[in-house]
């Protein structure tokens, strides 16, 4: 069976800091009464694997597709060592502040049983007076920061940044961070759910002092350059992110022969493609579409002006 642009059923994660903004902004049908903090739009983890929601492959998981289709799906990119798809794409709704947290880099992940590297970036879709914490203040030592965790004063030692709609932030593994209340975020990350809480602002959940101190890289300031320019926002060894604008009546052509994920941030479009089924795939704000590498062409034809993230994988890695 030939591949085509794939949409997936969102996996919703209820969080104590979550809300209902995905319902308001994107018309999502959320679980009744749930505080939804995360929508996993494209995921291949043990904690949740996305299932195709369109066309003849409906119900097939991303795990199954990656194993079965190989290079037809990924092109010259490679799955993870465990055979899973090498991206995790989310929408986050922070109705309250998230824990101040840190994720392991490759070195820490190798040292901690069961841990997996987690590097990510955020695009702010809506800021209702929101802010983030991003990085330890310059000059703060590990000893000072450990004492701050133990005395519940870490807020004094991290950088607070006010956020506006459209802001972009790179959060490499090892950087302390938190999303503040009033933000809706599109998140691109390596496929890992390994998180260590530095503080949870008195809400009573477990704090991971030793693991946090093992993972924090105090040389990271939060000002690390993303290694990109123009429409390309970020280049990492794990993924590249570009922000594109497509105007109504002017189709955007996606590069052929590569596995590409598109997160539509606003607008509405039809996708015309060379796949064997569904010559046109509709997409709206909040949707994520995965374009298999075997497609000979795929055009994103905006019915209204669109802004979207184009996420590509490194080839041969």
Q: 133 and 19, same structural domain?
A: yes
Q: 45 and 183, same structural domain?
A: yes
* Domain edge (last residue) among 190, 215, 240: 215
197 is catalytic: yes
Domain assignment of residue 265, yes or no: yes
**What pTM was computed for the model?**
0.95
Q: In angstroms, how far is the first alpha carbon of the chain from the final one? A: 26
* Domain edge (last residue) among 215, 247, 268: 215
Q: 183 and 249, same structural domain?
A: no
Q: 286 and 145, same structural domain?
A: no
> In angstroms, rounded to a whole number, what is the distance separating the alpha carbons of residues 23 and 212?
34
Tell me the pLDDT band of 276, cut-offs 50, 70 and 90: low
The pLDDT value given to residue 221: 86
Q: 295 and 178, same structural domain?
A: no
Question: At 277, which CATH number?
Answer: 2.60.120.10
Q: 270 and 153, same structural domain?
A: no
Tell me the pLDDT band of 227, cut-offs 50, 70 and 90: confident
Domain assignment of residue 222, yes or no: no
Q: Do residues 233 and 264 lie in contact, with contact meaning Cβ atoms separated by under 8 Å?
A: no
* Domain edge (last residue) among 145, 180, 215: 215
Q: 145 and 25, same structural domain?
A: yes
Q: 206 and 241, same structural domain?
A: no
Cβ-count burial 41-55 (b if 16+ within 10 Å, e if not): bbbbbeebbbbbebb
Domain assignment of residue 227, yes or no: no
- Choice among 197, 203, 211, 303 that is catalytic: 197
| pLDDT tens-digit map of 158-201 | 999 999 999 999 999 999 999 999 999 999 999 999 999 999 99
Domains in the chain: how many in total? Answer: 2
User: What range does the domain containing 259 cover?
Assistant: 232-312
Q: 31 and 167, same structural domain?
A: yes
Domain assignment of residue 283, yes or no: yes
The pLDDT value given to residue 133: 98
Per-residue pLDDT for 275 more than 80?
no
Domain assignment of residue 80, yes or no: yes
Q: 111 and 10, same structural domain?
A: yes
Q: 254 and 170, same structural domain?
A: no
Q: 174 and 139, same structural domain?
A: yes
Domain assignment of residue 83, yes or no: yes
């Amino acid at each position: 069976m030939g591949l085509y642009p794939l949409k997936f059923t969102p996996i919703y994660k209820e969080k104590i800091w979550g809300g209902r903004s995905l319902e308001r902004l994107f018309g999502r049908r959320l679980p009744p009464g749930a505080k939804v903090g995360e929508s996993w739009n494209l995921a291949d983890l043990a904690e949740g694997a996305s299932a195709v929601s369109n066309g003849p492959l409906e119900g097939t998981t991303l795990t199954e597709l990656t194993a079965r289709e190989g290079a037809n799906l990924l092109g010259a990119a490679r799955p993870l060592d465990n055979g899973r798809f090498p991206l995790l794409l989310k929408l986050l709704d922070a109705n309250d502040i998230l824990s101040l947290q840190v994720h392991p880099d490759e070195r820490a992940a190798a040292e901690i049983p069961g841990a997996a590297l987690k590097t990510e970036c955020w695009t702010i879709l809506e800021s209702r007076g929101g802010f983030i914490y991003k990085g330890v203040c310059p000059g703060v030592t590990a000893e000072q920061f450990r004492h701050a965790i133990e005395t519940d004063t870490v807020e004094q030692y991290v950088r607070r940044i006010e956020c506006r709609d459209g802001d972009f932030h790179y959060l490499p593994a090892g950087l302390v961070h938190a999303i503040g209340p009033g933000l809706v975020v599109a998140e691109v990350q390596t496929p890992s759910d390994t998180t260590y809480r530095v503080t949870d602002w008195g809400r009573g959940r477990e704090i991971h002092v030793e693991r946090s101190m093992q993972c924090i890289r105090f040389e990271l300031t939060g000002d690390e350059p993303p290694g990109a320019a123009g429409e390309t926002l970020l280049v990492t060894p794990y993924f590249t992110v570009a922000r594109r604008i497509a105007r109504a009546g002017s189709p955007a052509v996606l590069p052929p022969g590569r596995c590409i994920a598109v997160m539509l941030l606003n607008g509405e479009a039809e996708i015309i493609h060379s796949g064997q089924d569904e010559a046109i795939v509709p997409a709206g704000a909040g949707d994520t579409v995965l374009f298999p590498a075997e497609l000979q062409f795929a055009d994103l034809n905006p019915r209204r002006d669109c802004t979207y993230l184009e996420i590509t994988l490194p080839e041969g890695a």
